[in-house]
Amino acid sequence: MSNTNSLNRRKKMMTWTGIVMLLAIFLLPMTGYISTGFATAAEEQVEATNPKSDYWRQVRDNTAGYSAVKGRETNELIQGSGQNWRQLRNGPIAQYGSWLLGLMLAVLAVFYLWRGEIKLSQPRTGKTVERWTLKERRMHWLTAGLFVILGVTGLSLLYGRLVLIPLFGHHGFSSYAEIAKWTHNILGPVFMVGLLSMIFNWFKLNFFNKVDLQWLKDFGGMIGDKHPPAEKLNAGEKMWFWSLVMMGLALCFTGLVLDFPNFDQQREVMQISHLIHVITAIGLIAFSFGHIYIATIGTEGALEGMVTGHVDTAWAQQHHDLWLKELNKKASSDK
């Protein structure tokens, strides 16, 4: 009896085991369906937005698609940033830029009328010291000349339509602008070489120190009769140098991006580059007005240094006394 009982129990167990195994064989592979089922449900929720409006969003967001026509961004339908670029360039940049340049000229003119040329306070001694070597002067005038050419041609592209077309007519201005464009594009990289060599050669002279602070407090002797002490370069010249380093390098770099469109840089990159290029250029041109004013009609004897290379010791004593002292010390120790 017990034997048949145990046999029955074994049979029952085997049947159940068989059923469970069969179920497992059928059901386990189905878990794949179950999990993907959940996944698609979740996905459907994400994609619940209207496919049609998704499509139009893609069109507007310049999503890259496919186009059989190959070229720069030919696979995009609408780029929105061009309108922003247009508005910034034609609006605030052109407007405030012209104000800044005009204001700078006006301030200088008023200052000149009020202060006049800053004369030498002592008569010339007739003795001169060397201020800029021939190499330095060449570098300066090369860069300065290119700066003027690039400035004029560049501003012509920004303001020519407003100012020059009424004067020369469309065809006349166009012939000039064509030459201006080529000149600008070819001389730009040469200017960069000049700028870099100036930066490397004059880097050491341009660190700020306590002397400069005092010089700035006294407005560099531009206002009042004080002659604040200065080294070979005063704080004003150093400020000009550092603006050339920062804005000038940004100007050159963005210029290269615009000058060589053959690397398939995107339109947005060129728009941003162009904006930086114009802003830094106008800033530097405004600053250069000040530099040119001070170095020419603003200060007696200043231009001689960059033209002949030598300055009168009376001038050196008045404007760069610490530098003269150092020169004298060196001269006497050399003896």
Partner 1 sequence: MAKMKFLCDEERCIECNACVTACKNEHEVPWGVNRRRVVTLDDGMPGEKSISVACMHCTDAPCQAVCPVDCFYTTEDGVVLHDKDICIGCGYCFYACPFGAPQYPQEGAFGARGKMDKCTFCAGGPEEDHSHEEIEKYGRNRLAEGKLPLCAEMCSTKSLLAGDGDVVSELFRNRVVRRQGRQEAWGWDTAYNVK
Residues 219-248 that bind partner 1 (CB under 8 A): none
Q: Which is nearer to partner 1, 79 or 243 (CB)?
A: 79
Task: Verify binding: residue 83, partner 1, rule CB under 8 A.
Answer: yes
Element (H, E) at 128: strand 128-130
Q: 311 in helix, strand or coil?
A: strand
Q: Candidates 115-123, 152-160, 205-213, 231-239 — which segment interacts with partner 1 by CB under 8 A?
A: 152-160
What is the rounded distance in angstroms from the CA atom of residue 229 to the CA atom of residue 212?
8
Contact with partner 1 (CB under 8 A) among 18, 92, 145, 261: 261
Task: Verify binding: residue 66, partner 1, rule CB under 8 A.
Answer: yes
Nearest distance from residue 67's CB to partner 1, in Å?
5
Of 151, 160, 159, give the one whose Cα is nearest residue 191. 151
Task: Verify binding: residue 58, partner 1, rule CB under 8 A.
Answer: yes
Contact with partner 1 (CB under 8 A) among 8, 15, 35, 74: 74
What is the rounded distance in angstroms from the CA atom of residue 196 to the CA atom of residue 215?
27
Q: Which is nearer to partner 1, 9 or 57 (CB)?
A: 57
Provide the strand spans (E) within 187-312.
Answer: 310-312
Q: Candidates 31-39, 50-58, 215-223, 237-245 — which segment interacts with partner 1 by CB under 8 A?
A: 50-58
CB atoms within 10 A of CB 221: 19
Nearest distance from residue 85's CB to partner 1, in Å?
6
Taking CB under 8 A as the rule, which mask of x and - marks residues 187-226 in contact with partner 1? ----------------------------------------
Taking CB under 8 A as the rule, which mask of x and - marks residues 103-142 in contact with partner 1? ----------------------------------------
What is the rounded distance in angstroms from the CA atom of residue 320 to the CA atom of residue 307?
18
CA 212 to chain centre: 27
Nearest distance from residue 162's CB to partner 1, in Å?
10
Nearest distance from residue 234's CB to partner 1, in Å?
39
CA 80 to chain centre: 23
Instruction: Determine contact, residues 305/316, Cβ cutoff 8 Å.
Output: no
Task: Verify binding: residue 171, partner 1, rule CB under 8 A.
Answer: yes
Q: Candidates 84-92, 209-217, 294-302, 320-328 — which segment interacts with partner 1 by CB under 8 A?
A: 84-92
Nearest distance from residue 46's CB to partner 1, in Å?
15
Q: Which is nearer to partner 1, 25 or 68 (CB)?
A: 68
Instruction: Determine contact, residues 250/64, Cβ cutoff 8 Å.
Output: no
Residue 26 structure tokens: 């059928």
What is the rounded distance in angstroms from the CA atom of residue 173 to the CA atom of residue 53?
47
In one-letter notation, the amino acid at residue 256 is: L
Q: How far is CA 293 from CA 79, 87, 109, 280, 315, in A?
A: 44, 33, 9, 20, 17
First to last CA, the chain: 134
Task: Verify binding: residue 170, partner 1, rule CB under 8 A.
Answer: yes
Q: What is the DSSP code (8-state) at residue 126?
A: S
Nearest distance from residue 157's CB to partner 1, in Å?
5
Q: What is the DSSP code (8-state) at residue 312?
A: E
Task: Verify binding: residue 274, partner 1, rule CB under 8 A.
Answer: yes
Binding site for partner 1 (CB under 8 A): 51-52, 55-56, 58-60, 63, 65-69, 71-80, 82-83, 85-86, 89-90, 156-158, 160-161, 165, 170-171, 173-174, 177-178, 181, 185, 258-263, 267, 270-271, 274
